[in-house]
Amino acid sequence: MEFTLNKVLQGFYKDSVALMRLSRDLVAMEGVNEAALMIGSPSNKQILRDAGLLASEGDAAEGGDLVVAIRAKDSKAAHAAAEAIEPQIMSQTRASDDDIDWRPQSIRSAAKASPDANLALISVPGEFAAAEARKALSRGLHVMMFSDNVSVEDEIALKIQARERGLLMMGPDCGTAILDGVPLAFANNVAGGEIGIVGASGTGIQEVTTLISNNGGGISQAIGVGGRDLKNEVGGISTLLGIDRLDSDPSTSHIVLISKPPGDRVLPKILDRITESSKPFTICFIGASNFNVPANATVTRTLKEAAQSALGGKSIGSEIVSKNQVSKEGKQIRGLYSGGTLAAESQVILLDAGLEVASNAAVPGASDLKNAAGMHQIIDLGDDQYTQGRPHPMIDPEIRREPLEEAMNNPNVGVILIDIVIGFGAHPDPAGQLVSMLAGTDKKNQPEIIASITGTEQDPQIRSTQVKTLQSAGVHVADSNADAAIAALQMLRVNS
C-alpha cells in the first residue's frame, strides 16, 4: 500500500538548489516512488499537492518551514528514507571529488596564466603536436616536443620557424633537456657547471650529464634536438642552433655533442660550425666511422669517454665490478636495455673488443637480431616493437620481465647487462622492480647480472639507494653503462 509521509522542519531554511539535489537523492532511495523537499509556501504546497506528495502535516506547514515529502511503496520504506535523508539535510557539504584547481587547457590560456614562461613542453599525440608547436613558437616560446610520430615535413617547417624567430625547437621525440638548471621530461638532478650539451639522444644526454655531475663537473645547459635532427632531411637545424646558443653563452666553456652518426650531408656542416668556435668540443657520434676532426674537438667512442673528455680527461669509474668469473658454461652476453643510446654504447664496446653482436637497434658493424644465432645480443626494449600500446620501459620496467626470465634460463647466456635509468619521469623504483623480478629465481647456475645506474644522489630515487637494492639481490653494479659492458667482457675472459 503506497504511503505518503510528510515531515515538517519548523523554521528551517535551505537554498532551493540544495533542496532539489536532496530531492533527487531521496527519490533514488529504496522503495521511494516520489519525493521532494520544499519550503512550505502556498505555491510550493500546490506543487506538492499536484505531485501527490502532500499529507496533512505538510499542508499545515508555513512559509518558513521545510517540508520533507515522501511517497513510498509502504510506510516502512517512507520512514527509512526520511531517516536516511535527515543527516544530509543537516549538513550538505559536498566536497569535490576532482582536483578543483584549474589547469589551463590550451597553450593560449597557459601563456596567459604564466606570462613569464618562455618554453612550452608539448606532449600530445603526434598528429596534434605540430599545430600546438606552431602556436607556441608564434607566441615566442621555445618548444620542447616530447611527442613523436610527427612528420619530417612538419619537423623541418617547425625548426625553420623557430630559427627565424630565434627560438629553440627541441624535438619532436625529444625526451631530455636541462635548461637553466631545470630538468625537463626524462632528466636528472645534476650539478650546475660549465659543460654544455647538445644531444639527439635522451638517454645519451642523461648518461653523460649524470657521469659529469657524479664526478665533480656540472652542466650549464643540456639541449635536446630530437632523434632525427642530424639526418640529411632535417639537416641538423636544431643542433646548429643549439651550438650557436652554447657558443655565445658565457657560462659554457666546453660543448659536448651526442648523437647517432649524422647524415653524410649534415656531418660537414656540423664540423664546419665546430671549427668556427673558439670553445673546446667533445663529439660522441656513437658508432660513427672515422671523420676529420676539427682541431678544437675530441672524438670519443662512448658516452663515458665523452664525459671524461668534458671533465678535462679525468679518468672516472672502475671497470671491475667483481673478481668473480662466470661460473656457468654460458658465454654469451645478453643486454636488456631501456635506453636506446645505452644499448648502442654497449654494442660499440663489444664490437671494439672484436665480438659478434646482434641487436634490434644495430649500430654499424652489428647484426640484425634475426641473425643472432651464437652472437651476443643487445636488446633495446624501448623500441617500438616492445612498446606498442604499453609504456616505455623507463616508465614501467615490466617489459623486461619476459626477456629477463628467458635470459636467466638460457644455458648459453653467461652475463646479463641491464641499465637502470632514474631521475624525473622514470619509474619510482626501477631497482626494486628488477629485484622483485629476480626474486624466486634459482641463484645457482644462472648468469651473472651487471647493472649500471644512470642517475645522481639528488634524483628522487637516490642513486645509492638503488645501488644497495641491486647489490642486496646479488646484482653487480658498475659505475657507468660502459663500465658494465667492459666488466661483462672481463667476467667472460673474452677481453684481456
Partner 1 sequence: MQLIEQGNQEAIRRMLSAEPVLIDVVPAKEIVPGLKDRMILHAGPPITWDRMCGPMQGAIAGIIVFEGWAKDLDAALDMAAAGEIEFDPNHHHDAVGPMTGMTTVSQPMLVVENKTGGNRAYCAINEGLGKVMRFGGNDQEVLNRLAWIRDVLGPGMGGALREMGGIELKPLIARGLSMGDEMHQRNVACSGLVLRAIASSMAKTSKDATALSEALAFISANDQFHLNIAMAMGKAIMDPLRDIEGSSIVTAMSRNGTEFGIRVSGTGDEWFTAPVEMPEGLYFAGYTEADANPDMGDSTIVETIGLGGFAMGASPAVAGFVGAGAASEAANYTHRMGEICASENPEWTIPAMDYLGVPTGIDIRLVVETGIVPTINTGIAHREPGVGQVGAGVVRAPMACFEQAVRRLAEKLGIS
List C-alpha distances in Å: 159 to 164, 175, 177: 9, 17, 17
| Neighbouring C-alpha atoms within 13 Å toward the C-beta of 321 | 31
- The grid coordinates of residue 367 equal 647484426
Contacting range for partner 1; rule: CB under 8 A; set: 106-114, 234-242, 245-253, 460-468: 106-114
Using CB under 8 A as the binding rule, whether residue 14 contacts partner 1 is answered as no
Q: Which is nearer to partner 1, 2 or 180 (CB)?
A: 2
Strands (E), 12-87: 32-39, 66-72
Q: How far is the CB of 23 from partner 1 (least distance, A)?
A: 7
DSSP assignment letter at 26: H
Cβ closer to partner 1: 18 or 408? 18
DSSP states of 142-200 as a string?
Answer: EEEE------HHHHHHHHHHHHHHT--EE-SS--EEEETTEEEESB----EEEEEEEES
The yes or no reply on residue 164 touching partner 1 (CB under 8 A) is no
In whole angstroms, what is the distance from residue 77 CA to residue 3 CA? 9
Q: Which residues in 36-75 contact partner 1 (CB under 8 A)?
A: 36, 38, 43, 47-48, 50-53, 69
d(CA 414, CA 46): 87
Give 141 or 336: the residue with its C-beta nearer to partner 1: 141
Q: How far is 237 from 168, CA to CA, in rounded Å?
A: 10
Using the minimum distance from each CB to partner 1, give the nearer residue, 14 or 401: 14
Exactly one of 10, 75, 106, 123 binds partner 1 (CB under 8 A); that residue is 106
Residues 6+ apart with CB under 8 A from 289: 261, 364
Q: Does 104 bind partner 1 (CB under 8 A)?
A: yes
Residues across the chain: 496
Q: Which is nearer to partner 1, 128 or 324 (CB)?
A: 128
Examine residue 314 and tell whether it contacts partner 1 (CB under 8 A).
no
Which region, judged by CB under 8 A, interacts with partner 1, from 19-27, 369-377, 401-409, 443-451? 19-27
Query: Closer CB to partner 1, residue 63 or residue 216?
Result: 63
Rounded Cα–Cα distance for residues 337 and 374 (Å): 20
- Binding-site member from 21, 165, 273, 331 for partner 1 (CB under 8 A): 21
The size of the interface with partner 1 (CB under 8 A), counted in residues, is 31
Question: Which DSSP string do the residues of 196-263 spell out, in sequence order?
Answer: EEEES-HHHHHHHHHHHHHTT--EEEEEE--TTTTSTTTTTHHHHHHHHHHHH-TT--EEEEEESPPP
C-alpha cell at 70: 515522501
Does 24 sit near partner 1 (CB under 8 A)? yes
130 is an interface residue for partner 1 by CB under 8 A = no
Nearer to partner 1, 95 or 373 (CB): 95
Using the Cα atoms of residue 453, residue 396, residue 389 and residue 174 in order, give the sign of their dihedral.
negative
Among 5, 8, 32, 35, binds partner 1 (CB under 8 A): 35
Among 100, 295, 373, 439, contact with partner 1 (rule: CB under 8 A): 100
- The closest of 404, 423, 476, 449 to 207, measured between CA atoms, is 423
CA gap 371, 362 in Å, rounded: 11
Candidate segments 13-21, 168-176, 326-334, 444-452, binder of partner 1 by CB under 8 A = 13-21
Residue placing its CB nearer to partner 1 in the complex, 101 or 329: 101
H or E stretch including 4? strand 3-9
Region near partner 1 per CB under 8 A, out of 16-24, 57-65, 247-255, 307-315: 16-24
User: Considering the complex, what minimum distance in angstroms separates the CB of residue 51 from partner 1?
Assistant: 3
Single out the residue of 34, 57, 247, 249 in contact with partner 1 (rule: CB under 8 A): 34
**Binding residues among 364-393 for partner 1 as defined by CB under 8 A:** none
How far apart are CB 18 and partner 1 at their closest, in Å?
6
Q: Does 98 bind partner 1 (CB under 8 A)?
A: yes
182 interacts with partner 1 by CB under 8 A: no
Q: Which residues, other chains included, contact 469 with Cβ-Cβ below 8 Å and sequence gap of 6+? A: 429, 431, 432, 435
Shortest reach from residue 435's CB to partner 1, in Å: 42
* 94: contact with partner 1 by CB under 8 A: yes
Residue with smaller CB distance to partner 1, 138 or 472 = 138
Q: Cβ closer to partner 1: 52 or 364?
A: 52
- The set of cell numbers assigned to 167 is 627560438
Q: Which residues bind partner 1 (CB under 8 A)?
A: 15, 17-18, 20-21, 23-24, 34-36, 38, 43, 47-48, 50-53, 69, 94-98, 100, 102, 104-106, 108-109
